Amino acid sequence: MSIINTEKEKNGSLKKNFVDAVSFYKNDPFVGHLSTPITNSKIVRTYLNLLPLYNNELSFFLKGLVIGIFHGYFLFGPFALLGPLRNTEPMYFIGFLASLSLLIIINLFAVLYGHVTFKNNAFQKTLFLTSKEWNKFISGFSLGGFGGVSLAYILTKFF
């Protein structure tokens, strides 16, 4: 789509018409969608399809495990190095405990969310279709989160 269209006027001179680079979806300004040039690019779509949550080859437990390991591992650093006890002897252990505490809170709220959302096991158009799948995901997230925090603590404490 060209941003500038040129047309000949009656007197022979060229007239420039500026065309909007962003147009309405199906030429209707009242119909919205979340499609942008960034989210429609093949690179972004490939990246998003490689994320574990959208990988259909993994079970819900393994999806939660991978996501939990990532979150647990990266939650440890800010608590250990930027917490109020930084530059003291027990900073890694306090960061470990703070990360575990936050993961327990996250898991508690995730279980409550699953209990409320999938209460009737009615079909909903979401990524998780039943409470059983949600519970598998959360149990994997819990195990992965605690494992990720433990791994980060061991690596920083002993290496």
Residue 3 is predicted with a pLDDT of 47
What the block records as the tokens of 108 is 């508690």
| Residue 142 sits in the same domain as residue 66 | yes
> Domain for residue 51, yes or no?
no
Same domain assignment for residues 61 and 138: yes
* Nearest of 141, 146, 69 to residue 133 by alpha carbon: 141
- Mean pLDDT across the stretch 102-124? 85
Residue 94 contacts residue 79 (beta carbons within 8 Å): yes
* 91: three-class secondary structure by DSSP: helix
- For residues 61 and 94, membership in a common domain is answered with yes
- Residue pointed to by tokens 């096991």: 121
State the Cα–Cα distance between residues 6 and 24, nearest whole angstrom: 22
Note the pLDDT of residue 59: 93
Q: Is the same domain home to 152 and 74?
A: yes
The model's confidence at residue 117, banded by pLDDT at 50, 70 and 90, is confident
Number of Cα atoms under 13 Å in the Cβ half of residue 19: 10
Averaged confidence pLDDT in the chain: 83
CB 116 within 8 A of CB 130: no
Q: Is residue 52 part of a domain?
A: no
What 3-state class would DSSP assign to 12?
coil
Residue 63: which CATH number? 1.20.1240.10
Higher-scoring residue by pLDDT: 150, 124: 150
Residue 83 and residue 37 in one domain:
no
Contacts with 130 (C-beta within 8 Å, 6 or more apart), sequence order: 118, 121
Tell me, yes or no, whether 112 and 84 share the same domain: yes
Q: Are residues 70 and 108 in the same domain?
A: yes
Q: What was the pLDDT predicted at 62? A: 96
Instruction: Collect all residues with Cβ–Cβ distance below 8 Å to 49 and sequence separation of at least 6.
Output: 55
* Residue-wise pLDDT tens digits, 41-67: 889 888 888 889 888 889 999 999 999
Domain count, the chain: 2
Residues 6+ apart with CB under 8 A from 157: 92, 93
Judge if 29 and 99 occupy the same domain.
Answer: no
**Residue 2 confidence (pLDDT):** 44
Does residue 70 share a domain with residue 148? yes
CB atoms within 10 A of CB 52: 15
| Residues 148 and 73 occupy one common structural domain | yes
Residue 141 has pLDDT above 90, yes or no: yes
Domain that holds residue 21: 4-45
Q: Please indicate, yes or no, whether residues 11 and 81 belong to a single structural domain of this protein.
A: no
Same structural domain for residues 73 and 31? Answer: no
